[in-house]
Amino acid sequence: MYKKQIAVSVAIVAVMGYLYYLPVKGLIKPKEAKNDKTTVLNSRKAATTVTVDMVSEPAKAAIGAALAAKITDLEGQLKTASGADAEKLQQQLAKQWDDDNQPAPAAFYYQALARKGNKAEDWLNAGGRFNDAYKLTQDTLLQPAFVSNAAEAFQNALKLQPESLAGKTGLGVAYVNGAGAPMQGIALLLEVVKKDPNNWSANLNLGMFAMKSGQFEKAVARFKTLLAQKAELEPEFYLAESYKQLGMKKEAIEAYQKCKNMVPDQAFVQRIDDDINELKK
C-alpha cells in the first residue's frame, strides 16, 4: 500500500510540476534559447558535481525511516565490497530505489553498473531513470546533471543497439530537455513513432513538447493515442489541459473528471475542482 501511495505521489508531481516549471529550451521562443554548445558544456560540467550521495539523502527522507534503513544497510555493505560483491550490491540498491519510486539514486547505481559492464540494458535503465529524475525536480543544480547523464547513457546504449527505440526515445527527450539541439530530439521522437505509432513514451513526450510550443491540436492527438491504449493520469491530465487551452470546455471538464477518479489525493482533487469550476463560469 505504501509503495502504491508513493507511485501516486510521483504521478502528481509529474503532472503538476513538469508542465509548468520546466520550459523546453528552443521550442517556445527561439531567441530565448541558449547556445546549444554552451548548454551542453554546462550540463557536462554539472554532471561531474552531482553524486549519488547528494540525491540519496533527500530520497531517504521522502520514503520514510523503515525503507531508508534498508538502503543505508546496503550502502554500508557497498563501502567495503569489491568485484562481484560490489556489483551485486549496486544491483540491489538500484532495484530497491526503483521499488521505492526514487529515480535519481537508482540512476546513479545503474550508471555505475553500465560503466563497468557496458551492457545496453544497464545504459537504458540509467538513462531512463535520469530522464525521470529530471522530470520530477525543479532543482536547477540537479537538472543539467540529470539531463547530461541521460544523454550519455542513451548514446552509449545506441552504440550497442543502434536501432533501439527506447534508446532513441530517451535520447530525444534528453536533447529536448537541454542536452543537445531540441529539434534534433524531436526528430528522434518522430522517427520512433514512425516505426511504432503507439509507442507510449515517444507519444507522451511529443504531446508534452507540443503543449509547450503552443501546438495544442497536435498534443490532443498524441494523448488520445495513448488513452486509446490505457487510461493513465498523465495523458488524461495533459489532454484536459490541452482542451482547456483550445477553448473546448466540455471536453476539458470530462477529462478533468476522469483525472479525479484516478487519484485519491485531496489536494490534487481540489486543484482539478478549481479548474472545472473556472471552466463552468
Residue where one domain finishes, among candidates 126, 147, 180: 180
In a domain, 106, yes or no: yes
Per-residue pLDDT tens, the chain, 281 aa: give them: 334 444 445 555 566 555 444 344 444 443 444 444 444 445 455 555 899 999 999 999 999 999 999 999 999 999 999 999 999 999 999 999 999 999 999 999 999 999 999 999 999 999 999 999 998 888 888 999 999 999 999 999 999 999 999 999 999 999 999 888 899 999 999 999 999 999 999 999 999 999 988 999 999 999 999 999 999 988 999 999 999 999 999 999 999 999 988 877 788 888 889 999 999 98
What is the per-residue pLDDT for 89? 97
- Euclidean distance between the first and final Cα of the chain, in Å? 38
> Coil, helix or strand for 229?
coil
Residues 90 and 153 in one domain: yes
Residues 246 and 264 in one domain: yes
CA–chain centroid gap for 60, Å, is 19
Query: 227-238: per-residue pLDDT in tens?
Result: 999 999 889 999
What is the domain extent for residue 216?
1-33+201-269
133, 104 Cβ separation under 8 angstroms: yes
In a domain, 277, yes or no: no
153, 114 Cβ separation under 8 angstroms: yes
Residues 40 and 174 in one domain: yes
Q: What total of structural domains would you count in the chain?
A: 2
Backbone dihedral angles phi then psi of residue 6, each to the nearest 5 degrees: -60, -45
Q: Cell 507540443 maps to which residue?
A: 210
| Sequence letter at residue 151 | A
Residue 70 CA to residue 57 CA, distance in Å, equals 13
Residues 246 and 123 in one domain: no
Residue 15 CA to residue 136 CA, distance in Å, equals 9
Residue 19 CA to residue 172 CA, distance in Å, equals 18
DSSP state of 179: I
What is the per-residue pLDDT for 45? 52
Residues 176 and 40 in one domain: yes
Residues 98 and 50 in one domain: yes
**CATH value at residue 147:** 1.25.40.10
In a domain, 173, yes or no: yes
Residue where one domain finishes, among candidates 128, 151, 180: 180
Residues 169 and 40 in one domain: yes
Residues 27 and 86 in one domain: no
In a domain, 83, yes or no: yes
What is the per-residue pLDDT for 261? 87
Residue 251 CA to residue 249 CA, distance in Å, equals 6
Residue 179 grid cell: 542536452
In a domain, 255, yes or no: yes
Residues 71 and 131 in one domain: yes
> Coil, helix or strand for 186?
helix
- CA-CA-CA-CA torsion sign (233, 202, 222, 26): positive
Residue where one domain finishes, among candidates 115, 149, 180: 180
Residues 152 and 24 in one domain: no
Residue ranges in 49-177 assigned as alpha helix (H): 52-63, 65-79, 83-99, 103-117, 120-136, 142-160, 165-174
Residue 239 CA to residue 251 CA, distance in Å, equals 9
In a domain, 114, yes or no: yes
Residue ranges in 137-265 assigned as alpha helix (H): 142-160, 165-174, 182-195, 200-212, 216-227, 233-245, 249-262
Q: Which pTM was predicted?
A: 0.84
Residues 157 and 55 in one domain: yes
The interaxial angle of helices 249-262 and 266-280, nearest 10 deg, is 170
Residues 19 and 46 in one domain: no
At residue 93's C-alpha, the angle toward residues 83 and 200, to 5°, is 120
- Nearest Cα neighbor of 19 from 229, 183, 233 is 233
